[in-house]
Amino acid sequence: MRVRLLAPLVFFASLWPSYARADQPLLADLSSHLIAITTGFTGASVVLFGATDGPGDVVIVVRGPERDMVVRHKSHFAGIWINTRQVTFSGVPSYYAVFSSKPLDDIVPQPVQSLHQIGLANLRLQAKSTSLDSSEVADFRNALIDDQRRQGVYDDEVGRINFLGDRLFRAQVDFPATVPTGTYFIEVLLVRDGNVVTGQTTPLVVSQVGVDAEVGEFAEHRALIYGLIAVASAAVTGYIASLPFRNA
């Protein structure tokens, strides 16, 4: 299990050769690379810290694992509301948040924000095979982002990155209790004169651990036995619970 999780990380890490230069203008790491979801999980905080080789600003983009999502739109039809139109988006991050050391628009021009997908407005979501025109698709896209914001998994407020002096920085990333599981990529960008001069991507694994993870895995791989156990334990609980009332 662990090996399977790490394999894509090693692969993605290797995609950033230009940032691994010897002079290392930017270095960053997380206080923890694993968020373990246990029975009492109510959310978690991870501290991202790092150093730059001189003055500059830092922007951090946190993205959860991507998946496909269908957005459906209801219309009023014969007195009731019916799903009439739908758009499927691919590559939708399950979590998205941006952090910056200064107000974004002051340090990064719009085209650069768009290029690096900084901010919800610049998130690239691919609409798959739809007959709707682009302005309608945009409505569906906005609906998706609004919904994810309400769910607390997209943050449209830019979080703070604090600098200690010119070079050291830290930011606290707070994940809600509903944080989706999977491998997250935390992109740290060093910005100078409106340009992204370098970047580093750090993985973060959000995973169920302990009994919960085992229950989940068992349910997936031994579905029939899991189903039978579910029925049996429910029946036994029902029987035991009726015992104290036997002589009623």
Partner 1 sequence: MDIYLPIAAVSLDGFVLLILGAAVGFLSGVFGVGGGFLLTPLLILIGVPHAVAVATSANQLVGASVSGALAHWRRGHVDIAMALVMLTGGLAGSVFGVWVFALLLRFGQADLVISLSYAVLLGVLGLLMLVESVRTFLRHRRGDPVQRKLHAHNWMHGLPFKMRFRRSKLYISILVPLGLGFLVGTLSAVMGVGGGFIMVPAMIYLLGMPTSMVPGTSLFQIIFVSAAVTVLQAVENGTVDLVLAMILLVGGVIGAQLGSRFGAKLRGEQLRAALAIVVLVVAAKLAADMTVTPDQLYSLEVLQ
Residues 173-202 as x/- pattern, contact with partner 1 by CB under 8 A: ----xx-xx---------------------
Q: In terms of C-beta distances under 8 Å and separation of at least 24 residues, what long-range contacts does 197-202 make, across chains too?
A: 197/25, 197/56, 198/18, 198/19, 198/25, 198/26, 199/16, 199/19, 199/26, 200/16, 200/19, 200/26, 200/27, 200/28, 200/50, 201/12, 201/13, 201/15, 201/16, 202/28, 202/29, 202/30, 202/33, 202/48
- Taking CB under 8 A as the rule, does residue 233 contact partner 1? yes
Is there a contact between 42 and 161 (Cβ–Cβ < 8 Å)? no
Distance CA(150)–CA(145), nearest Å, equals 9
Per rule CB under 8 A, count of chain residues that contact partner 1 = 58
Tell which one of 24, 74, 105, 121 touches partner 1 (CB under 8 A).
Answer: 74
- Taking CB under 8 A as the rule, does residue 124 contact partner 1? no
- Taking CB under 8 A as the rule, does residue 21 contact partner 1? no
- Taking CB under 8 A as the rule, does residue 229 contact partner 1? yes
Tell which one of 24, 31, 32, 38 touches partner 1 (CB under 8 A).
Answer: 38
Residues that bind partner 1 (CB under 8 A): 37-42, 67-74, 76, 79-83, 88, 140, 143-144, 146-148, 177-178, 180-181, 208, 212-213, 215-216, 219-220, 223-224, 226-231, 233-235, 237-239, 241-242, 244-246, 248
